[in-house]
Chain A
Amino acid sequence: MKSTPKDTVDPPMLKLRLYVAGSSPNSAMAVANLKKLRQGPLGERLELQVVDVFKEPERALTEGVLVTPMLVKLDPLPECRILGNLSNTEAVLRALGFWEYSP
């Protein structure tokens, strides 16, 4: 709901890609954490693509995925890479441009 005049400018659409290694502990946790963020501060203004390197190992090679899980913010630019299971909510949100977030 956008009720206050302050919010008339919509936050830009987020385009994210999450690289996971099957359902290994850290990867599964990243998926769960991202789901939580979607229900909370990130909202639905988000386009998410999940790449499983177990299924597409060639992509891990060409797209420079050394560690898993890894979340890449593709849009808006600049591109940003967030390593890890996304349990550090504050760091994740800041990296995605939600500067004023406080839990």
Chain B
Amino acid sequence: MTVTSAPLRSTPRLNERMPTGIEGFDALLAGGLPRNHTTLLVGGPGCGKTLFALQSLVMGAREHAEPGIFVAFEESAKNLMDNAATLGWDLGKLKKSLYFLDARLPHAHVRGGEFDLLGLLTAVGAKAKAMGATRVVFDGIDRLLSLLADPLAERREMGRLSDWLSDQGLTGIITCKTHDGSVGTLDRTAYLQSLADCVVTLQNKLVGSRPVRLLRITKCRGQAHVSGEVPFAITHTGVKVISFHPEKRERATSQRVSSGVPALDAMLSGGHYRGSSVLVSGSPGTAKSTVAGMFIEAAARRREPSMYVAFDEGAGQVVRNLAAVGVRLAPYVKSGVLQVVSERKLEKNPVEHVAQIIELIETHDVQCLVLDPISALAGSGVDAMAEELVVRLLDFASSRGVTVLCTCTRGSSLLGSGDGLMEESAAGVSSIADTWIHLTHVVQQGERRRALTIVKARGIGHSNQVRELLLSRRGVALGELTEPFEPVPEVAVSMRRGRR
């Protein structure tokens, strides 16, 4: 006797994926949303639900040749088109593959008994068939559901909607406002979540004193997924999820990149590894920015697309101040090989900074990058998040083979507890950086001098010397420190304070 097994249902398997095209998001779900199933996006007002859904539709039409229908219960189609235009999505070009249904309910209507959604589903179904649509967004379903004014009817109709999507072979994205807790309103998110195959929760949360956007995949049937909170930002090109890129990691290279300071290259027996991350720590005034400037100037001289991101200064100031110590960036800025970008601290939250930097790295195919100072991302109560973000950013850079030099003020939480010269302080950015150069002030014969030491350099036989850092109008050079020297007393005090 033979046993044959037949599929019980014609519904496609849950593990078939539909890429949203939202950067960093699809990787969280092993490729995208469950195809031919229902995904629910929930969140409070203004947390990015509509944009998220719209972007999935636009990217589907643009990048994957999958036409889509946007059913808008909350906003007018014109409003949505205008929003899309500000993000640089030319919907005019996608006229044949995107359809917006203005489904705002008329204000003047009378309830004359029970009703259902068959009209809407029939209309959308016919349109989907006519244009070969595979994706449908129902944006602001709470508006429609509140019209039903009956919890049982709501459940019945949502069940109908979800079954209908599967039957039609459509992938549905439904957005719904979370319950605000007000009396007399219905909390629909609970039953909607049990109905949907995949639930993504978006929120705008205060971290420290700054609002930060976070998303979480609360549920996804039949698919392993990243379940923790993941930060995202809305940049001028849309939603950007800051996630890890472990699968894209480039193979380690043994190619070297000059630090821009010949004597430092010698200490590193040839320079930094390409694609590695270099941390330059030190108190204010120890010439961290100059070391960073020399690195980027050398990169630009080699005609490698480079970027200098300044968090504390304007771009003009950076160029001027570095020119004063002989690091001339202006010609390279002019030729376009170097971007000097100012990411002022207060304008954005750290997620937005990182999203912006990632975008710039991609746009300009940056090969060498300076982040000065990376410690600016922390503070204001966002320390834990900043550290995670820096890890993600460095990970992203390394996946693209970008050599990164970041400076960090001593005492910053990003360095981990303890002081720059104490090797046991293996926490924060200092632990993930491949190379760690520490700059300090020392006293020698009653005079304050700058000193440089290499704390670590992974995979590089490096010098253990403490060298004097000489700052002149021709940039940074290294000299020999003759014994005896000792830390500057004030610095020693702040060193103790820095410890936890």
Contacts and interface: CB of A to CB of B under 8 A. Distances in A.
B115 A26 contact: yes
Interface string B83-117: 00000000000000000011101101111111111
A38 to B, nearest CB: 15
Contacts of B110: 80-83, 91-92, 94-95
A84 B127 contact: no
B183 interface: no
Contacts of B103: 64, 66
Interface stretch (B24-32, B118-126, B418-426, B456-464): B118-126
Contact of A66 (B108, B119, B127): B119
In the complex, which of the residues B109, B117, B123, B127 has the most CB atoms of chain A within 10 Å of its own CB atom? Answer: B123
B346 interface: no
Nearest to A33: B113
Given A60-B123, A61-B101, A66-B120, A84 B147 contact: no
Nearest to B117: A67
A74 interface: no
B148 to A, nearest CB: 8
A67 B120 contact: yes
Contacts of A33: 113
Interface residues of B, number: 26
A68 B108 contact: no
Interface of A: 19, 21-22, 24, 26-27, 29-30, 33, 53-54, 57-58, 60-61, 64-71, 78, 80-88, 91-92, 94-95
Given A57-B123, A57-B125, A81-B106, A24 B112 contact: no
A54 to B, nearest CB: 6
Given A91-B112, A95-B110, A66 B118 contact: no
Nearest to B144: A66
B112 A68 contact: no
Most chain B CB inside 10 Å of its own CB: which residue of A83, A92, A94 = A83
A81 B108 contact: yes
A68 B115 CA distance: 6
24 contacts: A19-B119, A26-B113, A27-B118, A33-B113, A53-B118, A60-B123, A61-B124, A64-B106, A65-B123, A67-B117, A67-B147, A78-B108, A80-B108, A80-B109, A80-B110, A81-B108, A81-B110, A84-B111, A84-B115, A85-B113, A86-B113, A87-B112, A91-B111, A92-B110
